[in-house]
Amino acid sequence: MKLNNNLSLNQRCLFSNKTTLLEESKCQNGECSTGGKKKLGAKRLTKKKAPFDPSKTDYMNCEGYVHSVESMGSLEGPGNRFLLFVTGCPVRCIYCENPDTWVNKNGTKMRVNELAKKAKNLKPYYEFSVGGGGVTCSGGDPLSQPEFVSSFFYAMKKDVGLHTCLETSGQGSQYAWDTILPHTDLVLLCIKHPNAKMYKEITRTCELDRMLEFLKEIEKRNIPWWCRYVVINGLTDNEQDLIELCEICNKSKTLQRIDLLAYHTLGEHKWKELGLKYIMGEGLIPKKDRLKEIAEFLRSHLTNKNVEVNSGAE
């Protein structure tokens, strides 16, 4: 199948220029949970740190920064789900709908035992839902609070008895991966773009290669994953982009599903409130028919026909 919505190279470069302008005005008050590119690079050079093991700690009293909690999500993993959104994110996506989650201390401090109590009260709604429910931790990016998220997942599995799902962009440190993944049943991995140059343009602070290393890590641990892919007209739905996305997916043995997420502008007002410039232009929201067409294209290019592709429009 042929797709016809490619931006010319010049048009894509226009995005690059605008992005550069935006980078100059990133984190509010000059703050950033990671300290930006330089610090990230430096972190990777440090000696390997032993992972945090919640079973050897007072994990119920572990405290973290929380953006919000929702008791009945249905799109972030199988079945009905308890959703925990934490603050802190090393990525700076140009279309982020929650820039208020970027900095850790913008969150409210909560302990794992408060969350466990809430989830336990609603457990029947999760465990008996179609597909089997559980808890999902999203953000921000949960990898930015490894001890808290691993303690939360550990408590959910051991004390509450619920399935755990991690929604992430797959960045962060090896320490964060080693700390959280042993307590994770399913990963929702947001692939911002399958092409290294465009990945950097969209995320501004992160590299595709790092996300691919994370993907290898979850494969190595045999953790099933769902791909989350934001469709933006002309920016992520180029035919070549979709072919490259399939190439990544076709290398995986644990991929179960691809969810297409239509780009939207619901978070635009938050950028303004934070004094940040929202650079996304007009005409970028895909129509339902386009999402269906892309889903069909992916289905025809995936080698594993058991991988479900959800257009979000059917």
CB of 267 to ligand SF4, least distance (A): 8
Place of tokens 């494969």: 219
Residue pair 281/263 in contact (Cβ under 8 Å)? The answer is: no
Q: Which candidate, 68, 114, 67, 116, places its Cα nearest to that of 89?
A: 67
- Binding status of residue 140 toward ligand SF4 by CB under 6 A: yes
Q: Which candidate, 299, 283, 278, places its Cα nearest to that of 97?
A: 278
Q: Which of 22, 84, 93, 246 binds ligand SF4 (CB under 6 A)?
A: 93
CB of 202 to ligand SF4, least distance (A): 8
**Token pair listed for 285:** 């929201």
Number of residues that bind ligand SF4 (CB under 6 A): 11
- Binding status of residue 244 toward ligand SF4 by CB under 6 A: no
CB of 214 to ligand SF4, least distance (A): 13
- Binding status of residue 92 toward ligand SF4 by CB under 6 A: yes
CA 153 → CA 144, 225, 258, distances in Å?
15, 17, 24
Q: Which of 89, 191, 294, 295 binds ligand SF4 (CB under 6 A)?
A: 89
- Binding status of residue 141 toward ligand SF4 by CB under 6 A: yes
Q: Which of 33, 80, 101, 164 binds ligand SF4 (CB under 6 A)?
A: 101
- Binding status of residue 139 toward ligand SF4 by CB under 6 A: yes
**Token pair listed for 269:** 């007002």
- Binding status of residue 184 toward ligand SF4 by CB under 6 A: no
CB of 165 to ligand SF4, least distance (A): 15
Q: Which of 27, 91, 103, 110 binds ligand SF4 (CB under 6 A)?
A: 91
Nearer to ligand SF4, 51 or 139 (CB): 139
Q: Would you give the binding string for ligand SF4 spanning residues 8-47, x where CB under 6 A is met?
A: ----------------------------------------
Q: Which of 145, 150, 169, 173 binds ligand SF4 (CB under 6 A)?
A: 169
CB of 95 to ligand SF4, least distance (A): 7
CB of 168 to ligand SF4, least distance (A): 8
- 185 CA to centre of own chain: 15
Nearer to ligand SF4, 264 or 299 (CB): 264
CB of 141 to ligand SF4, least distance (A): 5
- Binding status of residue 147 toward ligand SF4 by CB under 6 A: no
CB of 189 to ligand SF4, least distance (A): 11
Determine whether 135 is exposed, middle or buried from the number of CB atoms within 10 Å of its CB (0-12, 13-18, 19+). buried
Contacts to ligand SF4 by CB under 6 A: 89, 91-93, 96, 98, 101, 139-141, 169
